[in-house]
Chains A and B, each alone.
Chain A
Amino acid sequence: MNQQTHDILFRSLSDPTRRAIFERLCSEGEQTVGELTGHAGISQPAVSKHLGILKEAGLVGGRHQGRQTHYSAQRAALAPLIDWTRRMGGFWDKKLDDLENLLGRMDQ
């Protein structure tokens, strides 16, 4: 996964309202904008905007049925969060190599 995709995911989840919407889709299953609005405490356009951002991050998918769109959580999109440890581990391995290299070049 590239850095940009990764940023989009983290940014989309940095907002508490969006986390709440995502959690609700995880726990309750498919929901329409109307159903989500009833619980979010904000306007329907605002919920739609949040859903758009979650969709961009791949966290939410939409299924059209008649005039309604049913939104659902795409849990697999969370993988980068779960991979955090592995990625940071690789980062520090490289940095510690650089540190060791610097120590070899430093004066006492």
Chain B
Amino acid sequence: MTETAKQTRSVVKERELAHPPDKVWRALTEKHLIEDWLMQNDFRPTVGHSFELEAEWGKVTCEVVAVEPHKTLAYTWQAHGLESVVTWTLSKSETGTRLRMEQTGFGKEQEQAYRGATAGWNRFLDRLETVVAELD
């Protein structure tokens, strides 16, 4: 997979927040707080915990894959048969917290991490690059 292709499959957002990391961490990991800014959920900050996010447009199926309090949180994000991984990284800054969100969409790394369920998609999407290159 080329670097460009990799970039087209991930979304990165960074924000400088005027709040300490432990507070931001709470907003990312406490059920009622997640509900306030993201979606209805049954989240628990435990690796291996499966949960669902419910939006007006449908359900997102997730599984927690990494928890490092006040630093890193990652979960899979599956919707419409496409699996991606959302990773939150918090770092303390002079004014509060630098928050980074990266959503990697159906990249190759998933093939190993999530055992073949998405492998078919990944191969398809790799070939899709060729197809898309032929589009105007």
Interface of A toward B, CB cutoff 8 Å? 3, 6-7, 10-11, 13-14, 16, 19, 23, 26, 73, 75-76, 78, 81-82, 84-85, 88-89, 92-93, 95-96, 98-103, 106, 108
A102 and B33 contact, Cβ closer than 8 Å, known pairs A10-B81, A76-B135: yes
Q: Is the CB of A78 within 8 A of B131?
A: yes
CB distance from A24 to the nearest CB of B (A): 11
A88 and B37 contact, Cβ closer than 8 Å, known pairs A75-B131, A76-B135, A100-B17: no
A18 to B127, CA, bound (A): 15
Which residues from chain A contact B8 at a C-beta distance below 8 Å?
82, 85
Q: Indicate if B65 sits at the interface (CB-CB under 8 A).
A: no
Q: Is the CB of B36 within 8 A of A92?
A: no
A78 and B38 contact, Cβ closer than 8 Å, known pairs A13-B124, A89-B11, A92-B13: no
16 residue pairs of the A-B complex, CB under 8 angstroms, read: A3-B57, A7-B80, A10-B81, A73-B131, A75-B135, A78-B132, A88-B105, A92-B103, A93-B13, A96-B101, A99-B38, A100-B17, A102-B36, A103-B19, A103-B23, A108-B20
Q: Is the CB of B38 within 8 A of A88?
A: no
A87 to B125, CA, bound (A): 17
Which residues from chain B contact A13 at a C-beta distance below 8 Å?
81, 124
Q: Indicate if B115 sits at the interface (CB-CB under 8 A).
A: no
Q: Is the interface of A mostly helix, strand, loop or mixed?
A: helix
Q: Is the CB of B26 within 8 A of A106?
A: yes
Which residues from chain A contact B82 at a C-beta distance below 8 Å?
10, 84
Closest 3 CB pairs of A and B: A14-B81, A10-B80, A98-B37
Contacting A at CB under 8 A, from B41-71, are 57-58
Contacting A at CB under 8 A, from B1-46, are 8-11, 13, 15, 17, 19-20, 23-24, 26-27, 33, 36-38
